[in-house]
Amino acid sequence: MELIQSFSVDHTKIVPGIFTSRVDVLGDKTVTTYDIRLKKPNREPVIDVAAMHSLEHIIATFLRNDAEWKDEIIYWGPMGCLTGFYLILKGSRTPKEIYNLLLSAFRSVANADEVPGATAVNCGAYLMHNLDMAKWYAAEFAEYLEKNADNPKTFEYPKAERLVTDDGKHFYDS
């Protein structure tokens, strides 16, 4: 079984940033998945679940209401490992081309007075939100993005190196 693309990233070297995870061509349409990484995997504590949930609601609402980008947004949601989010957009842009959108999205969290859709009618876990912590994580990431806007590591995945056997198969140690 082939290892999926997101598992080919060297998680011991990845830093917070904006990365192209995969580009899919579906007929005549292109869809790009971005890895929006807020934490260093396995080296920093993961994002608090309730704060992650609040960030999901607030930023999804921001993205889907942004006049320039709303028609390009397909999905915004958390990674299972709780170190970041996936953003899926129509088309194919470099991570630097979506930098300003994401910086604005994370900066917008500071202005949130409530978590959109945090009601029993609108959300499957409406009591699991933490707006104050969401604001803290968002500010931390926005500040990081601003300080590292010229750092290539903020936009380029560190790929895991894999040995290739004589018959062309990739070797993965266990």
Instruction: Give pLDDT, residue 52.
Output: 98
Q: Which amino acid is at 134?
A: A
Please enumerate in sequence order all residues whose Cβ is within 8 A of that of 174, keeping only pairs 6 or more positions apart, or say none: none
Reply yes or no on whether the pLDDT at 37 is more than 50. yes
The pLDDT of 122-142, averaged and rounded, is 97
pLDDT above 90: percentage of residues in the chain = 82
Contacts 24+ apart (CB under 8 A), 61-70: 61/116, 61/117, 62/104, 62/105, 62/108, 63/87, 63/101, 63/105, 66/101, 66/104, 66/105, 68/101, 69/101
